[in-house]
Amino acid sequence: MALPKRQTDIGPPKYDQFIPPVIKKNYGKWKYHEVLSGGTMVHVAESGDALYTVRAASPRILSTETIREICDLAEKYCDGYLRFTTRNNVEFLVSDKSKMDPLLKELQERKFSVGGIGPRISNIVHTQGWVHCHSACTDASGLVKAIMDEVYDYFTTKELPNKVRLAVACCVNMCGAVHCSDIAVVAVHRKVPTIKHELVTKVCEIPTTIASCPTSAIRPNPKDKSVTINEEKCMYCGNCFTVCPPIDIHKPEEDGVAIVVGGKIGSLRTSPKFSKLAIPFFYNEPPRWPKVVAAIKNILDVYAKNAKKHERVGEWIERVGWEEFFNLTGIEFTFQHIDDFTFARDTFRTSAAFKYSR
């Protein structure tokens, strides 16, 4: 069968083909919006026109079958117009208010989860994990499913002091936004990699491999035409594995995940913040990682109880102090919590004023 003629460097179709007439008419002229429920909102334009949005959860991995189901709903209730959010949810763009209730009813019947708008949890940004990544040391999708099942009410209805952005990264490459999330899970290695010397000789560039190490732990090994790793310097980042795959960083029985907290990206009130270490390690416990899920629920509950209205997790912790965060959550403080890498000296306490451990 003859294929159509390819075109190169055309880029994506222009967005204006895909926006509903109400957006075209009121483009850039929106006046305000109101959150109507955990998963619905209305945007009102200066002209008085209104656009209703229904947000539904997606597991990020979508089959074409489910995408078609979403498309059918969009055709039925919003003239085929829909969009996705940066956090992988789907949004139905409804111009006709009378179609809202029937759409919500059908979404419920079809077991879609509507939510994620306002001071709530709006899905978990995450990575490919064991589903499709060579460097994963946990499964992102499984963790996301287990966590979201547990905190489901905070997606659909229940409110928090402010929005809480969750993320899961299946290794320290962090293809998700773990480094600036309110609460996030990142998979970590804890052992020096194993070197398959014969393969290193065959497939790797030795100088590039040596240069890839941030702690200068890798040295040449002329005897094996390979490299050696100084075990005392290695901090298991796995960058050498990316550059030279025969340096195997995976140790399934010793790999697992850490939990970091307190990051944010918006500049509202306080500057954007990096997430910081809360819990250094949990073993991988597929299929549902119960200890990780319980730990996140605990942090979330303590935040919900103690933060002031509009405070993000990181703002709350900075107000009460990190030592108080460990008091309130009951999380054990360990050697791993004390930074000994690039930003270490900025993190040591230089004041005699602090709160005691209880």
Partner 1 sequence: METAELQDKIFAYMEKMKGKKKLKEKDVIKALAEETSEAPDTVKKALRGMIDVGRLMYSYGGGASSVEIPSEEYLREKGLIK
Partner 2 sequence: MSGKYKTPMLDELEKGPWPSFVTEIKKAAKKSSMADDELGQLEKSYVTKRGYWKHGGIVGVLGYGGGVIGRYSSLPDEFPGIAHFHTVRINQTSGFFYTAKALKEICDIWDKYGSGLTNMHGSTGDLVLLGTKTESLEAIFAEYSSRGWDLGSSGSAMRTPSCCVGPGRCEWSNIDTLDITYNLTQEFQDEMHRPSFPYKFKIKTAGCAVDCVAAIARADLSIIGTWKGNIQIDQAEVKKYAGAGMNIQAEIIEMCPTSCMSYNNGEIKIDDAQCSRCMHCIAKMTKALRSGKEKGATLLVGSKAPIVVGSLLSWVIVPFIKVEAPYTELKTLIRSMIEWWDDTAKPRERIGEVLEIKGLRPFLEHIGVPPQPQQVKEPRKDPFFFWAESDFKR
Region 180-209 residues binding partner 1, contact defined as CB under 8 A? 203-205, 208
Contact 80, 66 (CB under 8 A): no
**Minimum gap (Å) between residue 204 Cβ and partner 1:** 7
Three-state DSSP string of 123-157: EEEECCHHHCCCCCCCCHHHHHHHHHHHCCHHHHC
Q: What are phi and psi of 73, to 5 degrees?
A: -65, -40
Q: Which two tokens stand for residue 335?
A: 């050697």
Asked if 154 is part of the footprint of partner 2 (rule: CB under 8 A), the reply reads: no
User: Based on CB atoms, which residue is closest to partner 1, 36 or 206?
Assistant: 206
Among 178, 217, 244, 300, the residue binding partner 1 under the rule CB under 8 A is 244
**Minimum gap (Å) between residue 243 Cβ and partner 1:** 5
**Residues 294-315, buried b or exposed e (16+ Cβ, 10 A)?**
ebbeebbebbbebbeeebbbbb
Asked if 243 is part of the footprint of partner 1 (rule: CB under 8 A), the reply reads: yes
Question: Which helix (H) or strand (E) covers residue 325, if one does?
Answer: helix 322-329
* Spatial distance between the Cα atoms of 5 and 26, rounded to a whole number of angstroms: 37
CA angle 204, 205, 208 (to 5 degrees): 120
Asked if 349 is part of the footprint of partner 2 (rule: CB under 8 A), the reply reads: no
**Minimum gap (Å) between residue 245 Cβ and partner 1:** 8
Of 18-26, 316-324, 327-335, 350-358: span binding partner 2 (CB under 8 A): 18-26
- Helix/strand/coil for 259: strand
* Spatial distance between the Cα atoms of 341 and 330, rounded to a whole number of angstroms: 26
244 interface partner picked from partner 1, partner 2, none, CB below 5 to 8 A per type: partner 1
Of 79-87, 94-102, 319-327, 347-355: span binding partner 2 (CB under 8 A): 79-87
* Spatial distance between the Cα atoms of 21 and 17, rounded to a whole number of angstroms: 10
β-bridge pairing 90-94 and 40-45: unpaired
Asked if 124 is part of the footprint of partner 1 (rule: CB under 8 A), the reply reads: no
Specify whether the backbone of 102 is left (phi greater than 0), alpha (psi in -120 to 50) or beta: alpha
**Minimum gap (Å) between residue 243 Cβ and partner 2:** 8
Amino acid type, 237: C
- Helix/strand/coil for 262: coil
**Minimum gap (Å) between residue 283 Cβ and partner 2:** 9
205 interface partner picked from partner 2, partner 1, none, CB below 5 to 8 A per type: partner 1
Q: Which two tokens stand for residue 127?
A: 């990575």
264-283 positions binding partner 2, by CB under 8 A: 265-270, 272, 274
162 interface partner picked from partner 1, partner 2, none, CB below 5 to 8 A per type: none
Q: Which two tokens stand for residue 318?
A: 């900075």
345 interface partner picked from partner 2, partner 1, none, CB below 5 to 8 A per type: none
Contact 165, 208 (CB under 8 A): no
Asked if 172 is part of the footprint of partner 1 (rule: CB under 8 A), the reply reads: no
Query: How many beta carbons lie within 10 A of that of residue 289, not counting itself?
Result: 24
157-216 positions binding partner 2, by CB under 8 A: 169, 172-180, 208, 211-212, 214
**Minimum gap (Å) between residue 356 Cβ and partner 2:** 28
343 interface partner picked from partner 1, partner 2, none, CB below 5 to 8 A per type: partner 2
Of 66-74, 142-150, 187-195, 240-248: span binding partner 1 (CB under 8 A): 240-248
40-59 positions binding partner 2, by CB under 8 A: 43, 51, 53, 57-59
Among 209, 226, 284, 329, the residue binding partner 2 under the rule CB under 8 A is 284
Asked if 128 is part of the footprint of partner 1 (rule: CB under 8 A), the reply reads: no
User: Based on CB atoms, which residue is closest to partner 1, 61 or 243?
Assistant: 243
Q: Radius of gyration (Cα) for the chain, nearest Å?
A: 24
Q: Give the binding site for partner 1 (CB under 8 A).
A: 203-205, 208, 212, 239, 242-244
